[in-house]
């Protein structure tokens, strides 16, 4: 099967997401014509089965989503969405920050920078519900947590400050950065959930 995946390429760790999804598509046995493309404008979403919302600065990414006319196209996008860190903030219903127009695709409240500033970044081996092969080595960089999750949001992993991984149907939101660590199990699980 040839699959096209988009990575929102307005700000943040875009190339790492492209590399990780390219490897994950190969790992899922997808066809050689499968592609991972940068999404900057609504037309770039055409034909995509999934979209990655990268880590970065959620206030900046939110502003650029609006500027590029992508807010409604992402909200109504029919494919899967794989959101990491700043992406998780954008997926929420409430980020308690007026500069961020959240997409509201997952019923959850997020606490941005819940672990403190850049120097409080850390790595941890965390158990993820339903993930075979042992704990996931997760990299947290100025990470958010989910402090409240509502209807349909399935919690996958929690640390002392709150929820750090969640799924809702075709959406996955992670407070950490699986695109940085080389472990593709979460990417592959996300693709499998989509029937890819
Ligand atoms: N704290 C950042 C924000 O809220 C996210 C950090 C990241 O994506 N690594 O935008």
**Model pLDDT for residues 137-188, shown as the tens digit of each residue:** 999 999 999 999 998 999 999 999 999 999 999 999 999 999 998 999 999 9
- Domain of residue 54 covers 4-193
Torsional sign, CA 121, 122, 123, 127: negative
pTM for the full model?
0.97
Q: Which residues line ligand 1 (CB under 6 A)?
A: 55-58, 85-86, 89, 112-113, 141-142, 144
Residue 1 confidence (pLDDT): 82
**Catalytic residue positions, numbered:** 85, 177, 179
CB within 8 Å of 115: residues ≥ 6 apart: 121, 122, 140, 142, 143, 145, 161
Residue 106 confidence (pLDDT): 98
Output the CA 56–ligand 1 centroid distance in Å. 5
Residue 162 falls in which region: left (phi positive, over 0), alpha (psi -120 to 50) or beta: left
Nearest to 185 by CA among 20, 15, 7, 4: 20
CA-nearest residue for atom 8, ligand 1, is 55
CA of 55, closest atom in ligand 1: 8
Which ranges of the chain have pLDDT less than 50? none
Number of domains making up the chain = 1
| CATH value at residue 40 | 3.40.50.880
């Amino acid at each position: 099967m040839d699959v096209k995946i988009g990575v929102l390429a307005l700000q943040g760790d875009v190339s790492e997401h492209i590399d990780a999804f390219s490897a994950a598509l190969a790992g899922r046995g997808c066809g050689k014509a499968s592609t991972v493309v940068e999404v900057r404008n609504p037309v770039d979403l055409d034909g995509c089965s999934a979209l990655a919302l990268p880590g970065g600065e959620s206030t900046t990414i939110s502003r650029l989503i609006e500027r590029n006319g992508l807010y409604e196209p992402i909200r109504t996008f029919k494919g899967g969405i794989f959101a990491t860190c700043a992406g998780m903030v954008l997926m929420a219903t409430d980020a308690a920050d007026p500069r961020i127009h959240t997409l509201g695709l997952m019923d959850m409240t997020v606490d941005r920078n819940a672990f403190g500033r850049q120097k409080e970044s850390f790595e941890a081996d965390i158990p993820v519900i339903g993930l075979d092969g042992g704990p996931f080595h997760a990299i947290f960089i100025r990470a958010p947590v989910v402090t409240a999750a509502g209807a349909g949001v399935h919690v996958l992993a929690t640390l002392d400050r709150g929820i750090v991984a969640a799924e809702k149907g075709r959406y996955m939101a992670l407070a950490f950065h699986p695109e940085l660590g080389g472990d593709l199990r979460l990417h592959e699980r996300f693709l499998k959930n989509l029937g890819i």
